[in-house]
Amino acid sequence: MDRDSAHLEHGNQKNQLTVTKDLINLHKRKGKFFGIAAIVMSGLFILGVFGFILKFSEGVDDPSEWGYYAALVSFLITAGQGALMVAIATRLVKAHWRRPISRAAEMFAVVGLYNLILLIPLLWVLPGLSDGRRSLWFFNELKNIPENMPQIQMLLSMIFLVLAGIGLLWISSLPDLAVIRDSEVNKKKKGLIGRLSGQWYGTSRQWFIQYHRLGMMGAFYFMMLITTHFLFSMDFSMTLVPGWIDALYPATHAHNSLQAGIAIVLIAMFVLRRFGGYGDYIKYEQFWGLGKLLFAASLLWFWFWFSSFIVFWYGAKPNEQGVLELLMVGPYLPVFLVAFTFNFLVPLFTMMWNPLRRSIWGPTVIAFSVLVGTVFDRIRIYVSSWSVAMQENKHLLTEIPSAIKPDVADILMWLGGISGAILIYLLATRIIPVVSIWEQKELLLYRIHKPFHRLEEVLVLGKKD
């Protein structure tokens, strides 16, 4: 080994030790913001539980009373489960800029457990096949199909999706958990960290297996994400509306998850940078990269919506006119306009402006806009769908009900539901480092500053393969 190579290797080892120590200290630090946020979210979550009890006491026989709860569960699945695709997709293309934010995206896997719990009451209040509702399961033709088949297949799909997400997070965090386990501060306090880290000691075989497991779990998660959105969108909205037939709608629902997932990761990045002390790791480059992905997803939002809308508009059959009246141009027109504005118009016209796009605040504000638009879009679809679930004619809307406004219980459930997801995420950061230690250390092996022509030096990044 020559002198330059030896010096470079020594420098990398020194930098890796510095990065490890710094990230462990940030992980163990309990700032004032964390305590305040946890207390506030806990209080709002308790209010949400009270709202759910209040709603449940009113009965479960009328599906229209549970439209806002269905919209809440749909929103949390859309944004929370879609966030993991930020880590999966960017790791697949071997992007170095994603390293500081991959773990922040993967941490939303714990929110999946919370979403699974919220889904269970919704399965109970969903009208069964014996109520005469439409279904893909040919209940009238095949008598051996259970009445609750939509609930069974949705529950199984959600369980597999959550398990895939938790598995991906655990595999990704194994090296970091082992570092914390072996650190001086935690030698006498292995406990949960010791059990989670297992027998990881960083051998070549373990690293080889980990890389391949990350790829396989990512592929399986993506497959289950599409399956879950297909089943949820069909059985919890489209089949409840008489005359609604749209082959593109499940794909639209899945795409909305990708858009909202990017948005919620952007907001998590901003909070970690501003209040978590990770400003040295989460920089402009990460906001710039995700901002471009969010812009592309927002353009696709319009494409998916318009591709479905134009079929109904030009088809103009009675059942298609009824669906348009219910979902877009009738009582929920104001809700649709808000969703259209915040999901498409705001990203379209703001991302064109370079000073806003090439900043940290800009993509964050636009991401918040997308999440607000997704909330209104889910309210538009699910509240309206559940309001007509019990109409007798299952092939044509005979009556367009007025827009249902949220009551006190609905508002409390929304506040508590979103706060509970945030609380679960915050608590998970106390166990698993929210910025991957091993990926930051690995990055040092692929970057070097070298002289280039008349410039003093430039940053050169290598690839693993």
Q: Picking from 151-165, 281-295, 372-386, 442-456, which range would have the lowest pLDDT averaged per residue?
A: 442-456
- pLDDT tier, 14 (very low <50, low <70, confident <90, very high otherwise): low
CA distances for 438 relative to 16, 91, 314, angstroms: 9, 14, 55
| pLDDT at residue 189 tops 70 | no
Name which of 155, 274, 290 is nearest 224 in CA terms: 155
φ, ψ of residue 447 to 5 degrees: the values are -125, 145
The pLDDT of residue 447 is above 80: no
* Token reading at 297: 């997803």
Average pLDDT, the chain: 88
Spatial contact of 78 and 260, defined as CB atoms under 8 Å apart: yes
Q: How confident is the model at residue 15 (pLDDT cuts 50, 70, 90)?
A: confident
Percent of the chain whose predicted confidence (pLDDT) is above 90: 61
Q: What is the DSSP letter of 449?
A: E
Q: Residue 230: its pLDDT value, please?
A: 95
| More reliable by pLDDT, 183 or 52 | 52
Beta-carbon contacts of 241 under 8 Å, excluding residues fewer than 6 positions away, are 323, 326, 327, 384, 385, 388, 389, 397
**Which residues lie below 8 Å from residue 59, measured CB to CB, with a gap of 6+?**
65
Q: Which residues contact 232 (CB under 8 A, 6 or more apart)?
A: 74, 77, 154, 253
Among 81, 84, 87, 88, CA closest to 114: 81
pLDDT over threshold 50, residue 1: no
Q: Give the global pTM.
A: 0.91
pLDDT tens-digit series, residues 321-334: 999 999 999 999 99
Q: Are 223 and 161 in contact (CB under 8 A)?
A: no
Q: How large is the average pLDDT for residues 392-416?
A: 90
Q: Rounded to whole angstroms, what are the CA distances from 4 to 11, 15, 420?
A: 10, 16, 53
Q: Are 83 and 105 spatial neighbours (Cβ–Cβ below 8 Å)?
A: yes
Q: How sure is the predictor about 258, in pLDDT bands with cuts at 50, 70 and 90?
A: very high
Query: What pLDDT does residue 138 have?
Result: 65
Decide if 116 contacts 159 (C-beta within 8 A). Answer: yes
Task: Read off the pLDDT of each residue in 223-229 and give the average, rounded to a whole number.
Answer: 96
